[in-house]
Structure 1
Amino acid sequence: LWLWPTCWWELNVNSFVLMDNPSALCFLLYFCLGLLSIITVCGNLLVILTIMYFRQLHTPTNYLILSLAVADLLVGFVVFPLTIEFSFSSCRFEKDLFCQIRSTFDKSLCTSSILQLCCISIDRYYAICHPLTYKMTITVRVAGVMMFVTWSVAAMIGIGIVLGGYSYGTCEETCSVNVVLSNVTGPVFAFFMPAFIMLCIYMKIFFVAQSQRNSIQISISSTVSKTERKATKTLAIVMGVLHFPECMHFSPFNKI
Structure 2
Amino acid sequence: MRSDLSLPAAVQLCYENVNGSCIKTSYAPGPRLLLYALFGLGAALAVCGNLLVMTSILHFKQLHSPANFLIASLACADFLVGLSVMPFSMVRSVESCWYFGDSFCRFHSCFEGSFCYASIFHLCFISVDRYLAVADPLIYPVRFTVSVSGACIAFSWLLSITYSFSLLYTGANEVGLEDLVSALTCVGGCQVAVNQNWVLINFLLFLIPTLVMISVYSKIFLIARQQARRIESMSNQTTVSSDSYKDRVAKRERKAAKTLGIAVVAFLISWLPYFIDSIIDAFLGFITPTYVYEILVWVAYYNSAMNPLIYAFFYPWFRKAIRLIVSGRILQGDSASINLFPE
TM more than 0.5: yes
Match of 1:110 among 112, 116, 130: 116
Match of 2:217 among 202, 209, 224: 202
Residue identity over aligned pairs, in percent, reads 35
> What is the deviation of 1:130?
2.4
SS at match of 2:178: coil
1:40 matches 2:74: no
Letter in 2 for 1:23: A
Between the aligned partners of 1:171 and 1:38, the Cα distance in structure 2 is 38
**1:123-138 aligned within 5 A:** 123-138=129-144
After superposition, the Cα gap between the structure-2 partners of 1:81 and 1:134, relative to the gap in structure 1 and judged at 3 Å, is same
> What is the deviation of 1:28?
2.0
SS at match of 1:153: helix
Task: Map Cα deviations across residues 233-254 of structure 1 (whole Å, 9 max, x no partner).
Answer: xxxxxxxxxxxxxxxxxxxxxx
Q: Which runs of 4+ in 1 moved over 4 A?
A: 86-89, 163-170
Between the aligned partners of 2:37 and 2:75, the Cα distance in structure 1 is 23
1:179 matches 2:195: yes
Between the aligned partners of 1:166 and 1:181, the Cα distance in structure 2 is 8
Q: Identify the residue that residue 244 of structure 2 maps to in structure 1.
A: none
1:67 matches 2:73: yes
> What is the deviation of 1:193?
1.6
Task: Map Cα deviations across residues 185-230 of structure 1 (whole Å, 9 max, x no partner).
Answer: 01210x2222211111110000011111112222x23x26xxxxxx
**1:1-256 aligned within 5 A:** 11-12=6-7, 17-18=12-13, 19=24, 22-24=27-29, 25-87=31-93, 90=97, 96-163=102-169, 171=178, 179-189=195-205, 191-218=206-233, 220-221=234-235, 223=236
Instruction: Tell me if structure 1 keeps the 8 A contact 2:176–2:195.
Output: no
Between the aligned partners of 2:40 and 2:175, the Cα distance in structure 1 is 25
Instruction: Tell me if structure 2 keeps the 8 A contact 1:10–1:17.
Output: no
> What is the deviation of 1:128?
0.3
Between the aligned partners of 2:176 and 2:101, the Cα distance in structure 1 is 7
Between the aligned partners of 2:83 and 2:25, the Cα distance in structure 1 is 30
> What is the deviation of 1:31?
2.2
After superposition, the Cα gap between the structure-2 partners of 1:46 and 1:95, relative to the gap in structure 1 and judged at 3 Å, is closer
After superposition, the Cα gap between the structure-2 partners of 1:39 and 1:169, relative to the gap in structure 1 and judged at 3 Å, is farther
SS at match of 1:12: coil
Question: TM-score, length-normalised on structure 2?
Answer: 0.54
Instruction: Tell me if structure 2 keeps the 8 A contact 1:128–1:205.
Output: yes
SS at match of 2:195: helix
Between the aligned partners of 2:126 and 2:56, the Cα distance in structure 1 is 18
Instruction: Tell me if structure 2 keeps the 8 A contact 1:119–1:146.
Output: yes
Letter in 1 for 2:213: M
Larger Rg: 1
Gaps spanning 5+ residues in structure 2: where?
14-23, 183-193, 238-343
SS at match of 1:132: coil
Question: TM-score, length-normalised on structure 1?
Answer: 0.70
- Number of matched pairs: 208
Instruction: Tell me if structure 2 keeps the 8 A contact 1:100–1:162.
Output: yes
Q: Which has the higher contact order (CA 8 A, sep 6+)?
A: 2
